[in-house]
Structure 1
Amino acid sequence: MAAPALSIVDSHHHLWMRDGQRYLLDEFAADIADCGHDIAATVYVECGAMLRRTGPSHLRCVGEAQFVAGVAAMSESGLFGPARICAAFVGAADLSLGAEVDEVLDALHQASAGRLRGIRGAVASDPDPAINVGGRAHAPAGLMRDVRYRAGVARLAARGLVYDAWQYHPQLVELCELADAFPTLTIVVNHCGGPLGIGPYRREDNFAPWRTLVAELARRPNVCMKLGGMSRKRCGFDFEDRVSPPSIAELVQAWQPYMQTCIELFGADRCMFESNFPPDQVAGSYGDVWTALLRTPAGCSDSQLRALAGGTAKRVYRIG
């Protein structure tokens, strides 16, 4: 099957204005129009954009839901192309509020005009602070084991919402425990499980411990995996330091061991590709990233490739 013939759901992207960088609907729609692939719909994942400046601190995240609803409404006009941009929304909420997080979930649902599909648990943390090369502060250690945090996660399970999981690969042990504690909760792991390849994790044998943890996680049937988000420095690649972006062949070579492993362990019906734009712009254009992603699977059938490209994301995030 030729890649451009696939109907793609981009399962993970952001829009923002930060640090002098603008990546909003105009820029994203232009990237989609020029990418050479059929992007049918997209899933916006929280990134702290457009938060409310005033009001209770636990509700300032609702500003991002309002922003998403506005972008989606603009996209639905058709003036920005046929793709349904922000067709689904994964928001932010302080799950440590416990059962009180219901107030936030209600507000996110309303403000997003019903597009809320889940909450991202951004709990990435490591004893070495130098590991954090992103823009978000590390979460407290052991948060997924915290009683109040788990009470908040329980509210997601009760509502049929998805838990989008963002942590580093050494924390996958805790994520396995969380998946066991909530067997009816759909968990979608971001960025191939967050493999680290810098600092103490810059070792030739680093792939093996990552694979062991991912294999253990794959034994939980309520867990899915996003394939992407592998361009940043924390993964051990040098894409951010290069004058020119890597070739598509270089991207495939770098990503394939991780993504092929995930596909083999989880199955195509529990994996989905993600662009992770704009952070993954360091790997090249939107079109090049998608071309590389679609070339990483080896030996997949047409039906499996359709699941990876869009079918799994469409089902998990309930995109009609």
Structure 2
Amino acid sequence: MTQVSIQAEPILDPDLPIVDPHHHLWVRPAPAVAEAPPPSHAFERVVRGVPRYLLDELIADTRGAGHNVIATVFVECGAMYRSYGPEEFRGVGETEFVNGVAAMSASGLFGPIRACAGIVSRADLTLGDRVAEVLEAHIAAGNGRFRGIRNSASFDEDAKVLGPLARYPAGLYRDSRFREGFRHLARLGLSFDAWLLEPQLPEVIDLARAFPDTTIVLDHVGTPLGIASYEGRREERFDIWRDNIRALAKSENVNVKLGGLAMPFCNFPSFLSDPPASSEQLAGEWRPYIETCIEAFGPQRCMFESNFPVDIGSCDYATLWNAMKRIAAGASAEEKTALFSGTATRVYRLEL
């Protein structure tokens, strides 16, 4: 699957430094034809269309797009887990893999970008106190780049909402064993990325209040829904989402990533549109959610993200950042610095 612009757009504000705080790397071997039924969910269609996204593809996007991307943060996606050893430690293979990619980038052979300057991997916090050893293994494998973990809690009673990503039980962030493991993050100086769906936002509100000393990052503005049983109801639920975002913003340990709205879960008209949407259309679709978050959290706690290559379902990398720049056009220079690089650098403690 290759998503391209209607035509190459002029790059807006090309010198503005960008730290992309949310992208993935993966290799997904194609299953044998007999084992590969047609994709049953739009997310699966996108991912199958991008079987490989490694350093070469990331550099092609970040450098080729024409935007001034100076660094990135990798976020877990189940890539390169170890095929051996205790189950709870297999995810450390992802940190080892990404640290190797970061070392390649740090050589300068791929240009000045600091790719994967920060690494966010996965550890199963429901291990309770046993997760401490796993976290320490990630820290060691990251060679100074490991910054935190993400445990997704995405769940909906309608399994068609998440499709192949319907993997987690309801109420994960309220589970006592999960919280037993969660308390180790602050002690180790690690942050927590939270991905869940709009109706679940009260769960992360409660988590943030229970652990005020742990830095939490809400991914993808809380993932508004317009798919499956939520089709046609996204605007109807906007006020519910907004009220929960405002409540979450009262916890000063929480930051929010502005992006992920190009995924199928939101089901904006731009998703898989033909021809692909312009940055102007994308900005119009995403603006109410992004501006609400900036108003609630302030620019110092907000960071624009690409969520690539997942967001290729709606646009290419260059068009995505043009859309973000259109939304932020009225911000001051100081606010733009925070939104496009400063917040990400602070939250993920990047040394640039």
Both proteins in one fold, TM over 0.5: yes
Q: Write the distance in 1 (CA, Å) between the matches of 2:296 and 2:151.
A: 23
Q: Which runs of 4+ in 1 moved over 6 A?
A: none
Which residue in the other structure is 2:194 paired with? 165
**CA deviation digits over 1:249-271, x for unaligned, max 9?**
11101111100110011000000
- Report the identity percentage: 51
> Which letter does structure 1 place at the counterpart of 2:14?
P
Any idea what SS the aligned residue of 1:40 has? strand
Q: Write the distance in 1 (CA, Å) between the matches of 2:178 and 2:240.
A: 27
User: Which aligned pairs between 1:184-199 and structure 2 lie closer than 5 A?
Assistant: 184-199=213-228
Which residue in the other structure is 1:230 paired with? 261
> Which letter does structure 2 place at the counterpart of 1:156?
L
- 5+ residue gaps in structure 2? 1-11, 31-50
The answer (yes or no) to whether the contact 1:245–1:282 under 8 Å persists in 2 is no
Query: Residue 293 in 1 paired to residue 303 in 2?
Result: no
Output the aligned Cα RMSD.
1.3
Per-residue deviation, 1:298 = 5.5
Q: Write the distance in 1 (CA, Å) between the matches of 2:27 and 2:245.
A: 34
The answer (yes or no) to whether the contact 2:192–2:214 under 8 Å persists in 1 is yes
Query: Residue 276 in 1 paired to residue 307 in 2?
Result: yes
User: Which aligned pairs between 1:130-149 and structure 2 lie closer than 5 A?
Assistant: 130-133=160-163, 135-149=164-178
Given candidates 23, 31, 34, the residue that maps to 2:53 is 23
Q: Write the distance in 1 (CA, Å) between the matches of 2:172 and 2:313.
A: 30
Per-residue deviation, 1:34 = 1.1
Q: Write the distance in 1 (CA, Å) between the matches of 2:19 and 2:96.
A: 22
Query: Residue 266 in 1 paired to residue 297 in 2?
Result: yes
How many positions carry a matched residue from both structures?
318
The answer (yes or no) to whether the contact 2:25–2:54 under 8 Å persists in 1 is yes
Any idea what SS the aligned residue of 2:27 has? strand
Given candidates 251, 254, 261, the residue that maps to 2:285 is 254
Per-residue deviation, 1:288 = 1.1
TM-score, normalised on structure 1? 0.96
TM-score, normalised on structure 2? 0.88
User: Which aligned pairs between 1:1-320 and structure 2 lie closer than 5 A?
Assistant: 3-18=13-28, 20=30, 21-133=51-163, 135-202=164-231, 203=233, 204-297=235-328, 299-320=330-351
> Which letter does structure 1 place at the counterpart of 2:254?
V
**CA deviation digits over 1:204-263, x for unaligned, max 9?**
412111111111111111110000111111112244432332111111011111001100
- 5+ residue gaps in structure 1? none
The answer (yes or no) to whether the contact 1:122–1:165 under 8 Å persists in 2 is yes
Q: Write the distance in 2 (CA, Å) between the matches of 1:19 and 1:249.
A: 35
Per-residue deviation, 1:283 = 2.0
Per-residue deviation, 1:6 = 1.4
Q: Write the distance in 2 (CA, Å) between the matches of 1:207 and 1:92.
A: 30
Q: Write the distance in 2 (CA, Å) between the matches of 1:291 and 1:179.
A: 32
Structure showing the higher helix proportion among its residues: 1
**CA deviation digits over 1:105-159, x for unaligned, max 9?**
11111111121111102110111111114x4333110111111100111001221
